[in-house]
Amino acid sequence: MPDDLTLLPDREDVIALDELMACSGLAHDEVVELVEFGALAIEQRGTAWTFHSRTLVLARRAARLRDDFGLNTPGMAVALAYLERIEGLERRLRELEACLPKGDAGQDAWIA
């Protein structure tokens, strides 16, 4: 296949359960448990589950944590929840930092 094609990355796509499993390396039971814990969100329930393509990032992260630290599924769910909270706090921190004057660090500690 030629490599100079202009490729379009996935955007707001939905992916099937099989694809989520294949691309993340998570097993079927692990995905089911992570959904039960609320760590992974289903786009569409019913006979064939589908997921938002964004969920793949979380699923891959869960699999990495499992492989590198030997986490079980509840461990993965807790780690994902904490990481989500940290990212939310970091975002809030960036918002607040964005409201501060640039390059003013160090000038605040002004003592008479």
- Per-residue binding string, other proteins, 14-53, x by CB under 8 A, is --------xx-----------------------------x
Q: Which is nearer to other proteins, 46 or 69 (CB)?
A: 69
**Does position 61 bind other proteins by CB under 8 A?**
yes
CA distance 75 to 33: 11
Task: State the Rg of the chain over Cα.
Answer: 20
- Binding residues for other proteins, per CB under 8 A? 3-12, 22-23, 53, 56-57, 61, 64-65, 67-69, 79, 83, 91, 94-95, 97-99, 101-102
